[in-house]
Amino acid sequence: MKKAFVIGHPIKHSRSPLIHGTWLAEYGIDGSYEAIDVAPEDLPAFVERLRQGEFVGGNVTIPHKEAVFALCDSVDPLARTIGAANTLVRQPDGRIHGFNTDYMGFLGNLDQNAAGWAQGLERAIVFGAGGAARAILVALREQGVPEIVLLNRTPEKAAALATEISGPFVPGALADYARYAPGAGLVVNTTSIGMHDTRFEDLDLTLLPRTALVTDIVYVPLVTPLLADAKALGLRTVDGLGMLLHQAVPGFAAWFGVRPVVTPALRARIEATL
């Protein structure tokens, strides 16, 4: 039986086992997929378990995406550009290959739920400067967005990331939001704010254009306070569940040899647990 995993810290909120378990049953595959809580100091030892053949591969989530990138023996060009890996595959010789599917998950989610979102987009605001932000910054850059404002609690981290990836990035602090909001057609939250009853403080969404799209990579809860506030103002919103579903496809295909399809029934099944 082929075994795969998702690792994070914490990990109990993850719906990835339900997604992959649904596909394993649907396609009649003899395999398993489990969520494993791995603390940062235990990450190298866990990757060694993968090398030894206990698993065929797995997913990596917060806070390990950048750390695991450094532990891979090889990475695909997109993961190298992003500087983070969220999907691991064990090669027959035990070498670990890393790639990044957050990029595809983010774009697939917006394309499916807000068709034409990039047309005429002059400025995007991205909150956060972690592993997921890296993938989304590269995705927006590749879509040709002329100005991408990167705001983080620690502005120094935003500045360092903007320099490292290179592109039309304008780094700053969360407090700089009001300066950039009036011209922003897209707002993306890549932080964990919105989980565990947390919310952004002093974020005035009325400053955004009425045509702006607000999206969140958090999917527990499905409608975060940020999305609820945006909906109340009549702004377009896209939740984070679609990104999770779309980013899961390439990994499943690599581990189990079947490319699964994201269906409305699968989404409904996951939504019912949120």
Which residue is listed with tokens 């079947």? Answer: 258
Q: Is 2 a catalytic residue?
A: no
Point out the catalytic residue in the list 2, 3, 12, 65: 65
Coil, strand or helix at 172: strand
Rounded CA separation 255/73 (Å):
17
Residue 19 contacts by C-beta under 8 Å, 6 or more apart in sequence? 244, 245, 248, 266, 270
Rounded CA separation 86/118 (Å):
25
Instruction: Of 143, 149, 141, give the one whose Cα is nearest residue 81.
Output: 141
Residues recognised as catalytic: 65
